[in-house]
Structures are given as structure tokens and as C-alpha cells.
Chain A
Amino acid sequence: MRRNVCAVLFAMLSLTSAVSAEPAKESVEADASTRQVAITSSFTGTEILVFGTVENSVQPSADAGTYDVVVVVEGAPAPVVVRKKSEVGGLWINTSSMRFASLPSYYAVAATRPVDEFADQAVLDANEIGFEHLRMILVRSGHRTASPAELADFKAALIRLKEQERLYVRSNFGVTFIGRSLFRATIALPPNVPVGPLVARVYLFKEGQLLGQYKSRVMLEREGVERFIHDSALARPVLYGIVTVIMAAAAGLAAAVALRRPA
């Protein structure tokens, strides 16, 4: 009798959980391992870990592939000009240029698999997920008419150059699930990463549908001597210039006196 009650209870419990799991919407919550990255004189680049969890996960195991997660980490937007050289009378000189209104100074995208395999172009465009889906607004072109093919060439070159500088990073399988709901991704910040606030965006997809997203901030700030010098250069440029002049002149004088040999 007692055993039967248990069996019924268990059956009821599993039934309710099965029933309630169907409508329970999955969502995503995430964070970065470091909220504050200090740039000191010994900074040589760093890594940040972005991790998160899928709420109400129905994924049976870590490698089931029920969900796709995309992690985007981007730096403050800034205008960029791309120049192209061509041959004029035997000399290679910059002849055309295109200027884009605002592009992330740093852009890293990591996903459970290539984003184009599971998500619609429209969704990727709307959320600026992936290099090809970044909004590049042309401000002014060096010459009057820029054909669509030319524009595409400039955009491709821009992304290629940013990738060479390691400022644009793509990691197609950079997000991994550790359990049924827990995932993680490591994002490399190169030593030349532009200093400023970073935004980490996390997107959760299931069968091509965007189920949820989460946003987190990482501060990238100069500290100590680096901060003092940089702030001085911006806030008191005349004094900064004079100090540089005095330092250089004093070093020159000291060397002349210290290393003086009989004339």
C-alpha cells in the first residue's frame, strides 16, 4: 500500500513536471569572470571568461546541442577610415578612401557553432552578431560614386585588417556547454585592445529561434601610473609637454656631463 502511494506520488510528480516544463520558457543569464580589467604598466593582454546558464533547460546532456549560445564582446564604437592604394604614374599612393560612422573598436564573437548555421540573417543583422552583420554606415567616400562591389571590397578589407590586428576575433566553437544548462566562453583581449568599457552580450537560440539575451559590462581601465600619465596628457597637455621637454633636456645634459671626456 505504502509502496503504491509512493509510486502514484512519483508518477504525479513526474507528470506535473512534464506538463509544467512544456510552457516554461527558457531564458539565459550570464556574467563575466572579471567586471574590472586593470591596465597597468605590465599589461600584456588578458582573457575574460563569460559564463552563463540556460534557465529551464530541457537539454538532456552537455553535448546534446539543443541550444545554441552566442557570446559577443565589443568595445566602444569609433569612426574608421579605410584607404586604398592604386598605381599613379608608377607610384603606389592612397587614391580612394571610405569613412564609416561607427564601428566597435574591439569585437569578439564566440558561438557553439558558426552562427550562419543556426540563425536567420535578419536576426543576426538586427543584433549585429558576426562580422558580416555589423552595421557599417558609410559617411563619406573619397570619390563621388562608390559601387556596391567597391563598398563590399572596402568592408571586407576593413574586417580583414581588424582581424590581423587581433581586434576582431571570431571563435566558431568558442562557447561550450559544461552541463545541461551551464556554458562558458573565453575571450582573449590582446595587448593593443582599445581602453574603454566593454559590453558582453549573450544570445540563446533554439532551433533558430532567439529565446533570450543578456547583457553585462566589463570595465577596461588604466590604473596606477598608466592612469596618471594618460589623464595628465589629456587634462594638462601644456604641462605634460613641458615636463616631457624638461625630462628630455635634463637627460641630454646629464649624459653630456656624466660621460664627458677631456676635450
Chain B
Amino acid sequence: MTLYLPIAEMSVSIAVYLALGAAVGFLSGLFGVGGGFLLTPLLTFLGVPPAVAVATSSAHVLASSVSGAVTHYQRKNVDVKMGFVMLAGGLVGTIIGVEAVHLLRKAGLFELTVSLSYVTFLGVVGTLILIEGVNAWRHAQKTGAARSLRKSGQHSWIDGLPLKMRFNRSKLYISTVPPIIIGMFVSFMSAIMGIGGGFILIPAMIYLLRMPTGVVVGTSLFQIVFVAAFAIILHAVQNKTVDIVLAAILIAGGVVGAQFGTAAGEKLRNEHLRILLGIVVLIVAARMAVDLVTTPGDLYSIGSLTGGL
């Protein structure tokens, strides 16, 4: 059964996009990432105009994140306070990011920046997650218990920063400066790359803020809910590229997939989850790197002058 999309202006098979939404939703529930970094390239690959793909992915990210965040909240895995602190930086970062997109596009460097950002970030983050996951897994096999990432009583330069705040859920008493900067930086990158930013946020929360891994996924989803909602309205107003019909199809698949993903995530061990996420992120990075270095089948491409990306 096919449906004509009012904004994308194309006829699509409902089943294909339902399945795509469900698959990405499953991964997003499993790993606590929004899934934008997977969905946007896949939609473009299926022929959806890039500008529409970026904007509409945000709607899917929002639904999956709400679904996941609520489940995590009920299980007390969300540090709401930390989420809001990061969000404060995030809104500023989004505004700076949107301006950067404008300047880069003017200089004709936008597409290159996006490709390199994807490959670099996904590559580095994927590798880090994978190494850490494998190490934790080995450690767990030796001692029979998962290694705690957080060493209590460990001091770092972060402890010297001002504006300290107590985060009960995360069992932390730290300066609000690092979370604000992390939120700002991730939102800046996600505005440029057209993603939610969970895959950058999660490692940053684990390795930089030393939050307990249990609350990291829920808190990341909680923060992404707001970033995605902000992005949808921004895209709808500035670029008019949000396809509500495509969004509805993707969401219908996505919310169900996310629930199963969250459930599956609870059955898997933390280190296994990290190894899997690392592999998925690296696959996407490799796919993009291949596109950058191999001789394209067609050197030429047509760009429309309307729309966002």
C-alpha cells in the first residue's frame, strides 16, 4: 500500500517506512540514543529529500525519546535536574549551531563539514565505546562482576570548578559548568549534523561527568526530548521541511520498536550493550567513510535551492 507524502512530494510504501521506523526505534530504545544518526542517512538513501529527512527524523527521535524516557522515568533512571542543566547549555548551543550552519553554507563548506563530522565523531565515539565495552566485558568475565566506571573518591580538575550542585539521582556533587558545556557542545554538533546527539551525550556523561551508567540512558533520552521538539519547530518555521505524514508512519513503527528495545536492553548486560552500540556506530561511520573515499558513480548531483540542507 502506498501513500503520497504532502511535503516530500513522493509516493512511498507504508510497510517499508513502518519497518524502518520500528528498526530504528528498537535500537534507540536499546541504547538510549535518539536514532537520528541512523534514520537520516537511511531516509536519504530511500530517496527522501535530505532537508525533509533531517527535519522529519527529529519527530521520530522525539517520539522514541518520549516513549523511552517515560519508561526510564518510571524505573527512576532519569536525573531530571541534570537533564535540565544540560538543556540550558543545549538551547544556547542550538542557536550557535544554526548560525554556524548558515555561515558554513555561505562559504560552501557545509556538506564537507557534515560528512567529516559524521565520520570523525561516529568513528571516535564508536571506537571508544567499543574499547570500553570490551574491557568491561573482559573484566567482568575475570571477576564475575561488572566493573564500576566510577571510582569513588577520585578527584579531577572538574572538582575544582565553581557553581556546584547536588544531583541526587546521579549521586554526584559537581560543578554545573561541565554539564552546561557538554549540553551546549552536543546541541551545537547536532544542529550541524541534524541528529539528536545521544551517541555523543552518553559517553560524555559516563566518561566526563562520571554519572552512573544506570541513569545515563534515561537522562540522555529526557534531554533529547526537548532538543528534538525545539528542532522540529525550528525546521517547520525556517525550512518548512517537516512531513507530518512521513513522521506519523515512522513514529507508529518507532514507538513500538522503542518499547521492545528498552525491554531487550534490560535483559542485556551493560558491557554487552556498549559493545553493540560501538559496533552499530562504527558501521555507520565506515559506511560514510567509504562514500567519502571511493570514486562516486556520478560526479554530478542536483541541488534544489529551496529547503534546508
Contacts and interface: CB of A to CB of B under 8 A. Distances in A.
A255 B302 contact: no
A253 B302 CA distance: 40
Interface of B: 2-4, 6-7, 9-11, 59-60, 62-71, 74-75, 108, 111-112, 115, 225, 228-229, 232-237, 240, 242, 244-245, 247-248, 251-252, 255-256, 258-259, 263, 291-296, 298-306
B71 A260 contact: yes
Interface residues of A, number: 64
Give me the 3 closest cross-chain CB pairs, A-B, nearest first: A252-B66, A241-B236, A255-B255
Given A44-B11, A93-B112, A192-B10, A244 B232 contact: yes
Contact of B251 (A87, A161, A242, A248): A248
Given A92-B294, A94-B111, A233-B240, A248 B6 contact: no
A248 B9 contact: no
Nearest to B25: A255
B244 A247 contact: yes
A80 B66 contact: no
Interface stretch (A6-14, A127-135, A204-212, A222-230): A222-230
Given A44-B4, A81-B302, A255 B235 contact: no
A255 B244 CA distance: 18
Contact of A247 (B234, B251, B296, B304): B251
Contacts of B295: 87, 92
A237 B67 contact: no
Interface of B is mostly: helix
Contacts of B293: 90-92
B302 A42 contact: no
B4 A248 contact: no
Given A233-B240, A255-B259, A248 B300 contact: no
A88 to B, nearest CB: 9
Given A83-B303, A92-B293, A162-B302, 9 more contacts: A81-B304, A82-B301, A84-B299, A97-B303, A160-B300, A192-B11, A225-B6, A252-B65, A252-B251
